[in-house]
């Protein structure tokens, strides 16, 4: 029985046992219904996960029983969407959908867009962007203009995370224009309101307050008559207007609006943290320091609990550090300086797209200089505290050195990769046939005969046989192992073991470059394919010959394939 059939049977059993029968709506009875009927019920109960899950699992179970990979893929996708509010469950379903997807159906781009959205909601912006880009790559194969616009919209949301406001705004305008041109304001009301909201956000970040206010006021007006979730969308728009009022210097209005609508307009921790930030900054401007500090410390609690790091909130720790510096409170200044460094480090590590921006906006050398000054002052008051800061300084310096090391290594690996791309397959040079009898002390005719047979050995790829040894090859070409070993040592400048390993690695390089499907093999499978007995010996040999690990080389080749660069 094949592995795929076993997986189908196991999943079928699991799905059939997951939902208990409910009268006529048991899984067994529902699988007798048509796919169209089940899908209609799934659509009806998208907002009722417990009921929607029953029909989606029946859809999946029917697909499993029929061994229909497209229906199985859709079943897992529906389950992921229905359970989107439960991150781990939804992610597990979407990963199973990807496992079954053969990329022959229009469901493919929806799958990757859904996975990107899951990552995005949970602050994993790099992973989100990877999946959005895959969705965009797949959507071009199908006539799905609304999804195409949606994917670009989602990529625009990620662009906000790297402060690429201009390109984000282009995506949001395109999405808005599509909705208007196709008269979808009522049919897809939530999408329309979201479009207005992100336009307001992008314009606010660009400090174009009139445009930000225009689209937000439009959202306030349109959300008043929303049938679904009207309180939330209206409250969100009122809170966002408070942010705009803050930028205009209307601090009292900012506090009043956020205080009134915060409970109804903050479903997630990021929005809540931003609301606290604007409350705190407004209170601070109105000389209400105690109230401001209360709000700022609420943000710190949210960050500690959620581990979500966005550039908008970093200001919170700068404010707290500066506040305690002005008060001469060195102990609290150090605490929030450490928190600032930790926040900055997490931003740097969590998303490679943020690195350049953060390097320019938050200058690490300036932080180090600040710490050195603070250490000098703390030494006069508390030696123990000074040592703590000194250790922190060493940690940051180490972090910088480590970052520089990996930066340099990436450059070196990239250059080595380019060299390997240009490298041609090795062949025995004719000059090898020129024997120097005096140096080898082996009869010239014997050496010549060995070299000719080595050429045949290489051309026929006999080195791919994992059982080949010096003795077995010597026997095959009708010479003794001593003559064969010495001839290879002299003409190849390497021993037999290294010679054999290098042939296999060069063959691997050539095959990886020419055969895209070979790149999808596991390292272990590749090792066996080219004559190695285990993946460890293959990896070590590959690195020794190329100065790169095989996983890195394959990954770079796949990037070239993805971006359309000819390797």
What pLDDT is attached to residue 176? Answer: 92
pLDDT digits (tens, 9 = 90+) for 135-153: 988 988 888 988 988 988 9
User: Environment class of residue 208 by beta-carbon count within 10 Å: exposed (0-12), middle (13-18) or buried (19+)?
Assistant: middle
Q: Which two tokens stand for residue 479?
A: 């010479």
What pLDDT is attached to residue 164? Answer: 84
User: Whose CA is closest to 196, among 236, 167, 136?
Assistant: 236
- pTM of the predicted structure, to 2 decimals: 0.56
Query: Which one of 38-47, 488-497, 556-565 scores highest in mean pLDDT?
Result: 488-497
User: How far is C-alpha 403 from the chain's CA centre?
Assistant: 19
Q: Is 435-563 assigned to CATH 1.10.10.60?
A: yes
The CA distance from 295 to 364, in Å, is 27
Domain boundaries, the chain: 435-563
What pLDDT is attached to residue 389? Answer: 59
Q: Do 175 and 201 touch, CB atoms closer than 8 A?
A: no
Q: Which two tokens stand for residue 482?
A: 């001593």
- Comparing 410-424, 427-441, 484-498, the range with the smallest average pLDDT is 427-441
What pLDDT is attached to residue 228? Answer: 52
What pLDDT is attached to residue 307? Answer: 82
- Comparing 61-65, 394-398, 562-566, the range with the smallest average pLDDT is 562-566
CA dihedral in degrees (197, 200, 204, 208; nearest 10)?
Answer: 180
What pLDDT is attached to residue 133? Answer: 87
pLDDT digits (tens, 9 = 90+) for 45-93: 877 888 889 999 999 999 999 999 999 999 999 999 999 889 999 999 9
Task: Spell out the alpha helix ranges (H) of 352-461.
Answer: 355-361, 364-381, 383-422, 437-440, 444-459
pLDDT top residue among 562 and 301: 301
* pLDDT-based confidence at residue 383 (cuts at 50, 70, 90): low
Q: Do 167 and 174 touch, CB atoms closer than 8 A?
A: no
What pLDDT is attached to residue 16? Answer: 42
Q: Do 302 and 269 touch, CB atoms closer than 8 A?
A: yes
What pLDDT is attached to residue 50? Answer: 86
pLDDT top residue among 347 and 517: 517
What pLDDT is attached to residue 381? Answer: 67
Mean pLDDT within 27-44: 85
Q: What is the mean pLDDT of the chain?
A: 81
Mean pLDDT within 195-207: 92
Mean pLDDT within 251-272: 86
What pLDDT is attached to residue 36? Answer: 92
* pLDDT-based confidence at residue 353 (cuts at 50, 70, 90): very low
* pLDDT-based confidence at residue 401 (cuts at 50, 70, 90): low
Q: Do 361 and 343 touch, CB atoms closer than 8 A?
A: no
């Amino acid at each position: 029985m094949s592995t795929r059939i076993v997986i189908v049977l196991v999943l079928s059993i699991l799905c059939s046992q997951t939902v208990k029968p409910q009268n006529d709506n048991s899984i067994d009875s529902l699988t007798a219904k048509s796919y169209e009927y089940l899908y209609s019920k799934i659509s009806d109960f998208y907002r009722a996960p417990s009921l929607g899950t029953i029909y989606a699992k029946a859809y999946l179970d029917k697909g499993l029983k029929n061994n229909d990979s497209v229906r199985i893929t859709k079943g897992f996708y529906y389950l992921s969407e229905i359970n989107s509010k439960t991150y781990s469950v939804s992610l597990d379903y979407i990963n199973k959908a990807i496992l079954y997807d053969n990329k022959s159906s229009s469901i493919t781009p929806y799958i990757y867009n859904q996975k990107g959205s899951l990552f995005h909601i949970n602050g994993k912006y790099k992973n989100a962007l990877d999946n959005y880009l895959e969705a965009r790559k797949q959507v071009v194969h199908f006539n799905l203009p609304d999804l195409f616009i949606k994917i670009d919209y989602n990529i625009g949301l990620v662009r906000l995370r790297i402060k690429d406001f201009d390109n984000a705004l282009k995506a949001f305008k395109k999405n808005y224009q599509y909705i208007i041109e196709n008269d979808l304001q009522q049919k897809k009301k939530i999408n329309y309101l979201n479009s207005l909201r992100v336009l307001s956000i992008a314009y606010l970040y660009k400090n174009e307050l009139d445009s930000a206010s225009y689209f937000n006021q439009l959202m306030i007006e349109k959300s008043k008559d929303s049938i679904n979730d009207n309180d939330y969308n209206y409250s969100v728009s009122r809170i966002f207007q408070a942010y705009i009022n803050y930028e205009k210097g209307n601090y009292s209005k900012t506090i009043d609006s956020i205080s009134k609508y915060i409970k109804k307009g903050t479903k997630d921790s990021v929005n809540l943290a931003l609301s606290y930030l604007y409350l705190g900054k407004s209170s601070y401007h109105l000389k209400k320091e105690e109230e401001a500090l209360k709000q700022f410390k609420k943000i710190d609690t949210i960050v500690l609990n959620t581990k979500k790091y966005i550039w908008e909130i970093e200001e919170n720790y700068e404010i707290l550090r500066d506040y305690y510096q002005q008060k001469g409170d060195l102990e609290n200044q150090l605490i929030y300086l450490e928190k600032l460094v930790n926040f900055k480090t997490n931003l740097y590590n969590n998303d490679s797209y943020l690195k350049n921006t953060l390097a320019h906006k938050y200058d690490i050398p300036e932080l180090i200089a600040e710490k050195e000054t603070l250490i000098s002052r703390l030494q006069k008051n508390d030696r123990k505290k000074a040592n703590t800061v000194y250790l922190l300084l060493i940690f940051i310096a180490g972090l910088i050195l480590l970052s520089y090391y990996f930066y340099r290594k990436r450059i070196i690996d990239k250059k080595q990769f380019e060299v390997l791309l240009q490298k041609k397959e090795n062949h025995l040079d004719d000059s090898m046939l020129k024997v120097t009898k005096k140096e080898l002390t082996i009869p010239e005719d014997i050496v010549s005969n060995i070299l000719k047979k080595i050429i045949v050995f290489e051309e026929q790829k006999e080195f791919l046989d994992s059982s080949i040894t010096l003795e077995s090859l010597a026997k095959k070409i009708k010479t003794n192992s001593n003559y064969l070993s010495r001839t290879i040592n002299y003409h190849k400048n390497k021993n037999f073991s290294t010679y054999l390993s290098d042939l296999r690695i060069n063959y691997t390089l050539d095959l990886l470059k020419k055969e895209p499907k070979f790149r999808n093999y596991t390292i272990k499978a590749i090792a066996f394919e080219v004559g190695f007995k285990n993946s460890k010996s293959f990896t070590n040999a590959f690195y020794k010959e190329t100065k790169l690990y095989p996983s890195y080389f394959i990954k770079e080749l796949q990037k070239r394939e993805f971006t359309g660069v000819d390797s």
